[in-house]
Amino acid sequence: MRNVNALMVGVGGQGVVLASDIMAEVGMNSGYDVKKSDSLGMSQRGGSVVSHVRWGQKVFSPMVKQGEVDFLLGFEQLEAARWAPYLKPGGVAIVADVVIVPVSVIGSSVPYPNQNEVKNTISRYSDKIYFIPANRIGLEVGNPRALNMVMLGCLSVFLGLEAEAWTNNICQHLNANFVRSSLEAFSRGAAEARAMTLSKAQSLS
CA 179, 46, 24, 132 dihedral sign is: positive
Tell which one of 75, 125, 131, 166 touches another protein (CB under 8 A). 125
- What part of residues 42-61 is at the interface with another protein (CB under 8 A)? 42-48, 59-61
Calpha distance 74→76 (Å, rounded): 5
Calpha distance 183→27 (Å, rounded): 18
Verify binding: residue 38, another protein, rule CB under 8 A.
yes
One character per residue 85-124, x = contact with another protein (rule: CB under 8 A): x---x-----------xxxxxxxx-xxxx---x---x--x
Tell which one of 3, 30, 37, 197 touches another protein (CB under 8 A). 37
Verify binding: residue 82, another protein, rule CB under 8 A.
yes
SS3 205: coil
**By CB under 8 A, which span of 22-30, 150-158, 171-179, 191-199 interacts with another protein?**
22-30
CA-based nearest residue to 190, from 1, 91, 161, 31? 161
Shortest approach of another protein to residue 4 CB, angstroms? 15
SS3 129: strand
CB 96 within 8 A of CB 148: no
Shortest approach of another protein to residue 119 CB, angstroms? 12
Backbone angles phi and psi of 60, in degrees to 5? -95, -80
Name the site residues for another protein (rule: CB under 8 A).
11, 21, 24-25, 28, 33-48, 59-63, 65-68, 78-79, 81-82, 84-85, 89, 101-108, 110-113, 117, 121, 124-125
